[in-house]
Structure formats: structure tokens, C-alpha cells
Amino acid sequence: MKTELSRRRFLQGTVALSIVGATAAATALAKTEHKSKSKIVDFGLTKTQWSDKLEEIPTLCEMCVNKCAAIARVEDGVLTKLNPNPLFPKSRNMLCARGNAGIQALEDPDRLKYPLIRVGERGEGKFKRVTWDEANEYIKDKMVKIIDEEKDNRSTIGYCAGEGMAEHTYASFMGDKIGSLNYVNHGSICLATTIAGYTLTLGGYGQADLENADYVIMAGANRAEAIVTPDTMDMFKRTKGRGLKMVVVDPRFTNTAAHADTWLPIEVGTDLAFVLAMTHVVMTEERYNKRFCEENLSDFEAYKKHIIDKNYTPEWAQAITGIKADDIRETARDFMAHAPRAIYYQGRRTAWSLQDYQLRRAQAIFSAMGGGIDKKGGIIFGKKLPLGEHSIPSPMYDNALERIEKSKAASIGNSGSWIAWRNTIIDGTAPYPVRAFFAYKQNPMLSIPNTAKTKQMLEKMDLVVVIDTMPSDTVMMADVVLPESLYLEREDPVKSFGGAEPSIALRIPVVEARYDTKPVIEIMRDLGEKLSKPLFEISKKYDESLQEEIEERGEKEVYKEEGYDLADGYRHSQETINHHMVSSVYGEEAWKTLREKGVFYPDMSKYFKKVSANEYEYYPEHKKSYSIIKGDLNNEPYHDTCVDINEIAVLKKKFRTATKKIACALYNFEKRKGVDAMPTWRSELYKETPEGRFKFITGRHGQFTQSGSSNNALLLDLLPENYLWINQRIADAKGIKFGDTVEVRSSIGAIEIKAYPTEKIGKNVVFFIHGFGAESSELTLAHHRGANDNAIIEDVYETTFGSAAMHETIVDIRRV
């Protein structure tokens, strides 16, 4: 009940939000006018009766990270509807609530419209409108001073980016052209541990083939609410006794759990113990695919010995996970009985616990023991259609120093560890100062655990530049704001989507860019034009290699050939680059198809079929790329006429790991970095929840994309604010009723939020959705709506990859 049962009840819960209605009127104005115009003709709107010019333009959605294909209906230059584009295999002819709400993002009156320069104190939110040239001039003056003072150490410029099709355009400008190594992106607050865990173990993260799986363990992954394509669409058509058996392991009863055959509520942070115990079951009972393991798993016997020696029994795990030993046994047996069409789902946002990386390793090995790797119905790698190349020269900077937080975890890659990086800046342990900060399409004020520290970091900077579409909390902390065009107004780099049914898809503008906004490629170009010469002068002063080069070859040539012209490569339009990337590989006709249809793959016109109103076929079955890894079928020692060897996957394959086998043990990693070679439960890394207190967990929602959609009028219509899930009996004991305001306090801060008492969560856990609680006063609808989880999530990270551990925070709850 409460927030979601009946329509009437829903109304009761939301009538106070008159602000939605008020702004709605404003944002829906264009549409309303059309409606009334059409009313004269008929009862309702008919596009052909009033529209002089109707266009249907294919594009790609950017309301979240999935990039679903959409067809925009544009009437007289006004976007009136976004519909799904059936041609794209990845999005399977659908557009979710957020995809539909893209129109509201376009029409949002709070959008960033013009370049801005701060006039008040940092964070005060006072800006003046300037021209692009004035903004870039301001940035140039600051950059020249900073880089000169830092003696051409380009890494003094820190930069971050959120996920997006133009992320690479931005990151290569900041990293390859300007030359800073201090990049942080979404990886370390999202999926770094699972990508790394699966890649090191299987040779790739792969794709769960949920369209064909018979059995899946969804642990913590909530595909009904955190939509991932095509996983979400493939799964839920076959749940509830319709072909896909699903076990959901989650501390909460989610919408995904509502589709499960079995729901196993687990103690937060103990998933590794659960997987190790299931591994113990199938190893001691010898229920795994022996041939596959013998042929394809390295150090399997050592792992077996490890699991048994450590005594990871179901009884051991029951005491830790709270899941009954018999349920662990049954799940493990059931999984192997369905293998190889059985998947332990890899997970997406896996920044959970301090042991997350080993958890993902254990999952990958457990899945592999069933043989369902590179196999239809298991984890597949699929194919990716190649695109042409577009490369530009990038300068070498002698004085650009290594990233500052490199030593803070065993293996910190090019995209960094957000928390470690930020904390290194504010705790004074950085080997050199990071003095400027650029943000693109990321809102670290709300997205990184411990908002207070992010603010502190931004306050330390001599220059903060933010590129975005909305006046986020991070924009409020900026010195210079550069407004990006909305996804519906711009062309982005063409993208190839791998999988069993690979394709290429394109985002093109469906309406003209409004206000004084630009796509990232043009923002980088303009900055490049402005910065190239002055920054080159600084390098000339400090960079000895450059000085030698100039002496040998002359300044003009070095400047051009070595890529010191920062704008080169950004001067072509995105369309020109995309044209080259596609036509150079697939020809002009392919390019034409891609632009007209939004999607291209070889033989699309031949393969693509409409099967029914709801079903499409993208490739014929024999053309789908389920198994792509080459292998030798060594039939002799296992001659067995009773089974189809291909079906039980006994090929000896060459996986893309160092040993060409699925890696049970990573001894080198242990030797060099002290990371456990094999998944091992570390009780010292597990924090039990003290009596009377709660572990806080966060999560996603199908009508809300992090803080990015927090000001969307239509989505707020569906989900007006976040609520604190708290166990009903605990709430009763504390006198907390639905809708009461409660305080949630952790060691780093406190927030206030409305309560949602429910039996769908255990007694020692509380939860609310990420992304609400914006402070920015420029976000009319999002301002002070709901609560910001990162104001209370402690800034701890696991020490293998520096990934945030967002579910390690203990909180207290009290009614206010």
C-alpha cells in the first residue's frame, strides 16, 4: 500500500505537490496550444489535420545509459512524441517512462541556456550571462596561470565525466590533448568491480543471455526497476513459470523479486559467503560440469581444495548471510541442474561492499562451473561490428605527472577511484596540487559518497568548469558553466553495440539546438582554439624534450605534427566524422540507411522481420553470435554417445585471459599487489550491524535516473520523491507512520526523509533511492525534494580497484 497501491491512494499521497501541476502547465505549454488548436477541428489532436510538416526522425535516447532507439515525431519543428524504434536489437522496440519523458527534458524551463561566469561567492549560485568567447577567455587566463605555476604539469587539471556517447570526445580532449592524467569517471562508483572481476576471470564481462537462459540468480540486481536493455525485456516475458526460473537474492523485496520463483533476503554485504557456499555444495557433491572445468578452468583443483579447506559450508554461510543452509544447497543444485543455460547475473552498479571484487570473481567461476560461458543461454560475448578509425595526434608532456591516488588501491586504472582521488586532494596527501577541475555530464555533488567532502574539494580549486544541460548542485559550485545541447538537439559519435545480435546506431538531432548551447565536440574545439598557443608557450618554457624537438624540426612543424594544436580533430563536424567512420567500412549505402533508419547492420533489410505487433526478429537463429570463442573439440577421451557434446559445452576454448583459460586463481595479482589469488571471505572486511541500528543501502528506479532526471516534470508525476524503506514492525515500535519525517544519521551526516514502513525489508536495513535531495535553487522542481543518499553514505572504498563501497554505512533512525 502506501505509495503505490491504488490510484486513489496514490492521489492522496501526492496532492500536496501542487508545484508539479503549476510547472507542468508551463512545460506543457507548447503542447497545450496545439491541442486547443486541433480541438476546433475534432475532439482531439490529429497530426495530419493541423501539422503542415510532419517528420519522423530516428535517434537514440539519453535519459539513462541504455541508449534505446527512438523515433521522434516532429510536427512543424515541435517534438510531440518519442516512440520506440523497432529496428534496434538492443532496445527491442521499447521506450520506458524516462524515454517518453525526454520531451520534458527538452522543454524544461530550468535548462542551462547560456554560458555563465560566477559573480558571487563559489556555491552561492550567482552567475552572469556571457558569450562563449568570454567564457573561454576566462578559462584560458586561469589555465595559463595555473599550468605555468605548476611548471607544465598538465595533471594539475583534474576532470570527471559521466557516462555518455560524447564522454570519449571530452575525455580525449582533456587527457590526450591537454594532457592531464587525473581523470575520474563513473566506473568507480558503478561497475568497476564487476567489469574487473569478470574480465580477469572469464576474459570479458560478457552479456547475460536472458532471452535463452533457463535459470538465473539475480543478486542485488533489480532489472525491473533499474532497467538494462535488453536484459529487462528478455527476462520478464519469461518469468512466473514461463520458462525462466529466477532466484532473487536481495535484502529488499523489489519489483524484480515480485517476478521471482524464490526470494532469498540476504544480510547486506554477505553475498560472497553465499556464492562460496554454493561453490562448496557443487564441489563436494561433484555437480559441476566436469569436462568443461577440466578443459577450460585453470587451477580448478587448487580452487576446489581452497573451498573445501576453508570449510565454506552452507551452514557456515547461513550464520553470515541469514539464508538457510538448505536454501543455499537447493539453489546451487538447481543452478547446476539447469546449466549451461544458467547464469549468476554479473550485476551492474556493484559498488556495494569492501569484498565486492572477490564476490564478482566467485560468481564468474561459479557460473563457469556449469559450463554456461560463451554459450547460448549463458554468459555470452557476442560480436561487435567494427567502425572506421578517427585518430588525431596527441602531444607528449614530459612534466605531466602520474595521477595522484595511484597508490591508494592495488590497481587504479585510467578512470581512477573517485573517492580516493577526491580525498587525496582534500587530505593533503597529493604529491602535487590539483588546482582546476572540469566536470562533464556528472554531478559529483550528488553522485559521490560524502557530499560534504566533494564540496570541500571543489572549494579548494582555483578553477571549476562544468559542462552540463541542467543547473545541478555541481553547476552551482562552478566558476564557468558551459551549456551543452540536449541529446535531442545534437549528433553524437556513432556507436557500435555488440552482442549476439550486433548493430550500429546513431544519435542525430531531431530539433534545432535551443538557446546558446553547443555539443561537446564544439565546446572542445572552441576551448582548443583558445588554449593551444598559450599552453604551447608554457610547454616550450618547461618541457626539455619539446625544446629539443623544436631545435631539430622547427616550432611550426612540431606544433602541428605533435598535436599541440588542441582543436585539430575537433574541427570537423560530428556528422562528417560519423560519415567517415561508417562509410569507410560499410560503404555509402550503409551510411544512408543509418541516417534514415537510426540503425544499421549488414543484411538488416534481409534479416529484419516483424513477427507480430510485439515481436521482431533481428537475425535468423543461425546468424546470431552466441559462441564466438574458437576452440578444439577434443572428443576422444570423453567418448560418450548419450549426450550432445556441443550442448554440454566441452569445447576447449581460448578465453581472453592471460592463461587462455577461465582463471580460478590469479597468483600474479597476489604476488605483485597482495590481492587474494582466489575468492576468500575476509571477516575483518565485514561489518555486522549493531543491535538497534541499520545498514543503509541505495538503489535505482525505473522512473528516475540518478540526479540527472531530478527536475523532469513528467517523471516527478510518477515518482514525486524518495521514501525511506523501513521494516514495518521496527517503524511501529518507533512510532513511525507512513509519511512521517524521519532523520537518518550516519557518521558523516544526517538527512531528513519521509518514511515508508513495509515488510519488504528486513529489520536491520533501511533503503532509499539515489538521486533526490538537490540543493540547487535553480532546479525549480528538484530543489529540496526528497533526500540525498550521498550526504550520509560514508566514503569508504574497496582496496583492489578503489571502487566505492556504498553499502557499508551504519545509520540511526529517529522520528522528527
Partner 1 sequence: MARYGMALDYKSCINCKACESACKEENGILLGADKHRIWVGVKDIEGIFPDLSISSSGFEPSQCQQCDNAPCQTVCPTNATYYDDNGVVRVNPEQCILCTYCMEACPYDARYIDDRTMTVDKCNFCSDTRLINGETTTACQATCPTKVRIFGDLDDPESEISLVLRARDHHSMKEHLGTKPKLFYLT
Chain positions 260 to 299 lying near partner 1, rule: CB under 8 A, are: 260-261, 263, 265
Segment interacting with partner 1, rule: CB under 8 A, options 220-228, 454-462, 650-658, 669-677: 220-228
Shortest reach from residue 354's CB to partner 1, in Å: 25
Q: Which of 76, 402, 427, 615 binds partner 1 (CB under 8 A)?
A: 615
Q: Which of 115, 699, 720, 773 binds partner 1 (CB under 8 A)?
A: 720
Segment interacting with partner 1, rule: CB under 8 A, options 2-10, 416-424, 545-553, 684-692: 2-10
Q: Among residue numbers 682 through 711, which ones bind partner 1 (CB under 8 A)?
A: 702-703
Which residue lies nearer to partner 1 by CB, 169 or 712? 712
Taking CB under 8 A as the rule, does residue 718 contact partner 1?
yes
With contact defined as beta carbons under 8 Å apart, do 208 and 379 qualify? yes
Shortest reach from residue 695's CB to partner 1, in Å: 15
Size of the site for partner 1 (CB under 8 A): 88
Shortest reach from residue 164's CB to partner 1, in Å: 22
Taking CB under 8 A as the rule, does residue 258 contact partner 1?
yes
Taking CB under 8 A as the rule, does residue 39 contact partner 1?
yes
Shortest reach from residue 45's CB to partner 1, in Å: 6
With contact defined as beta carbons under 8 Å apart, do 470 and 110 qualify? yes
Q: Among residue numbers 728 through 747, which ones bind partner 1 (CB under 8 A)?
A: 728-729
Helix (H) or strand (E) holding 138: helix 132-149
Beta strand segments in 188-284, E: 207-208, 215-219, 245-249, 262-264
The x, y and z cell numbers of residue 418, run together, are 573517485
Q: Among residue numbers 442 through 481, which ones bind partner 1 (CB under 8 A)?
A: none
Q: How far is 366 from 343, CA to CA, in rounded Å?
A: 9
Contact characters 3-22, partner 1, x per CB under 8 A: -xxxxx-xx--xx-x--xx-
Shortest reach from residue 78's CB to partner 1, in Å: 12
Helix (H) or strand (E) holding 146: helix 132-149
Contact characters 234-253, partner 1, x per CB under 8 A: --xx-xx-x----------x
Q: Among residue numbers 46 through 75, which ones bind partner 1 (CB under 8 A)?
A: 46-48
Segment interacting with partner 1, rule: CB under 8 A, options 33-41, 455-463, 499-507, 800-808: 33-41
Residues 6+ apart with CB under 8 A from 445: 451, 454, 455, 458, 472, 473, 474, 476, 477, 775
Q: Which of 227, 317, 470, 475 binds partner 1 (CB under 8 A)?
A: 227
Tell me 774's DSSP state. B
Taking CB under 8 A as the rule, does residue 232 contact partner 1?
yes
Taking CB under 8 A as the rule, does residue 99 contact partner 1?
yes
Taking CB under 8 A as the rule, does residue 583 contact partner 1?
no
The x, y and z cell numbers of residue 307, run together, are 573451498
Do the bridges between strand 436-440 and strand 463-468 make them parallel or antiparallel, or are there none, so unpaired? Answer: parallel
Q: Which of 762, 773, 786, 802 binds partner 1 (CB under 8 A)?
A: 762
Which residue lies nearer to partner 1 by CB, 44 or 428? 44
Give me the helices (H) in 178-257, please: 192-202, 231-236
Which residue lies nearer to partner 1 by CB, 36 or 584? 36
Taking CB under 8 A as the rule, does residue 345 contact partner 1?
no
The amino acid present at 204, given as its one-letter code, is G
Taking CB under 8 A as the rule, does residue 763 contact partner 1?
yes
* Total residue count of the chain as it appears in this document: 816
Taking CB under 8 A as the rule, does residue 727 contact partner 1?
yes
Q: What is the DSSP string of 296-318?
A: HEETHHHHHHHHHHTT--HHHHH
Q: How far is 177 from 567, CA to CA, in rounded Å?
A: 9
The x, y and z cell numbers of residue 475, run together, are 553547476
Q: Which of 522, 533, 524 is nearest to 565 (CA)?
A: 533
**What strand order describes the sheet that includes 480-483?**
127-129, 116-118, 480-483, 463-468, 436-440, 157-161, 183-185
Tell me 514's DSSP state. P
Three-state secondary-structure class, residue 220? coil
Q: Among residue numbers 347 through 376, which ones bind partner 1 (CB under 8 A)?
A: none
Q: Which of 67, 89, 93, 439 binds partner 1 (CB under 8 A)?
A: 93
- For the chain, how big is the Rg over CA atoms in Å? 27
Handedness of CA 67, 70, 75, 77 (dihedral sign): positive
